[in-house]
Amino acid sequence: MKELDIRYSNHPNDSKKYTTEELRKNYLIEDIFVKDEISLTYSHQDRIIAGGAYPVTKELKLEAGDALRADYFLERRELGVFNIGGDGVIVLDGTEYTLKKTDCIYVGMGTKEVIFKSIDSSNPAKFYMCSSPAHKSYPTRFLPMDKAKHVECGDQEHLNRRTINQFIHSDVLETCQLSMGLTVIAPGSGWNTMPAHTHERRMEVYFYFELGEDDVVFHLMGQPQEVRTIVIKNEQAVISPSWSIHSGFGTKSYAFIWGMCGENKTYNDMDVIKTTDLK
């Protein structure tokens, strides 16, 4: 397992001065899936960890490493994992769970051993994960797509028709602070969130996938009066601080996994920004 990539918190006024290169260095996570590696980024924004496990020819074990100062990764953390690749297996303290594409699993604090493996190396699993600090252990739960809560949003006229699939969510199961879901943008639409919003009581990471080789998402971030753009390719993620809007438009329809943690788990606790007020 690779050492954690550490990203520090910063003041919104600092981001106003960033060049494109500095924005990408601070907020963009480019290398999510590295063959036969677990590649994770540790953000000081609510201390979320996000990244991927890509077991192609061997099993991969999730370890605490030096950065967490813990005996094992989930000693003081909870974890959510989606599979977006071929069929894969997660082994949790000896119990195996098979995850097909878009299946999710929530793993409670205190689980000591987490192992990722693919069933077929010619079509390997791609495990995307988020982890947040936890103070209580909740039961591990396997969540296929039919166990998620499905919310239809937007309309074709405004190019934002999408399905929000809420997996690790207060209406589905209880966690300490981690929330995760998978949103699918309908064909012909491109906006993932518009009107944009902020939520001061929690941060968010967006992981974009199902984009073509020549497609991108223009991800909008920053304070409403100082909107900035990060161009994101397939299977990359972006860190969104609590003070930042997070919205984006793709050159084709796509999907993204959102992971949130912070003080408040209430999904609708957000401050909507009128589109014409953005600058």
Distance between CA atoms of 44 and 13, rounded to whole angstroms?
Answer: 17
Nearest C-alpha neighbor of 172 from the set 202, 193, 141: 141
Can you give the pLDDT at residue 58? 97
Quick check: 78 and 43 in contact, CB under 8 A? Answer: no
Counts for the chain of helices (H) and strands (E), in that order: 2, 23
Q: Which residues of the chain have pLDDT under 70?
A: 267
Can you give the pLDDT at residue 266? 74
Q: How far from the centroid of its chain's Cα atoms is residue 167's Cα?
A: 12
Distance between CA atoms of 240 and 140, rounded to whole angstroms?
Answer: 27
Distance between CA atoms of 263 and 259, rounded to whole angstroms?
Answer: 14
SS3 of residue 179 by DSSP: strand
Task: Report the 10 Å Cβ neighbour count for 11.
Answer: 9
Tens-digit pLDDT profile for residues 205-242: 999 999 999 999 999 999 999 999 999 999 999 999 99
Overall size of the chain counted in residues: 279
Can you give the pLDDT at residue 103? 98
Exposed / middle / buried, residue 234 (Cβ in 10 Å: 0-12, 13-18, 19+): middle
Going 138 to 91 to 255 to 163, the CA torsion angle's sign is negative
Q: Retrieve residue 124's tokens.
A: 């390997």
Per-residue burial over 151-188, b = 16 or more CB atoms within 10 Å of its CB, e = otherwise: eeebeeeeebbbbbbbbbbeebeebbbbbbbbbbbbee
Can you give the pLDDT at residue 160? 95
Task: Report the 10 Å Cβ neighbour count for 252.
Answer: 16
Q: How far from the centroid of its chain's Cα atoms is residue 243's Cα?
A: 18
Distance between CA atoms of 85 and 128, rounded to whole angstroms?
Answer: 10
Residue with tokens 């060049």: 19
Can you give the pLDDT at residue 249? 97
Distance between CA atoms of 248 and 231, rounded to whole angstroms?
Answer: 9
pTM: 0.96
Can you give the pLDDT at residue 140? 98
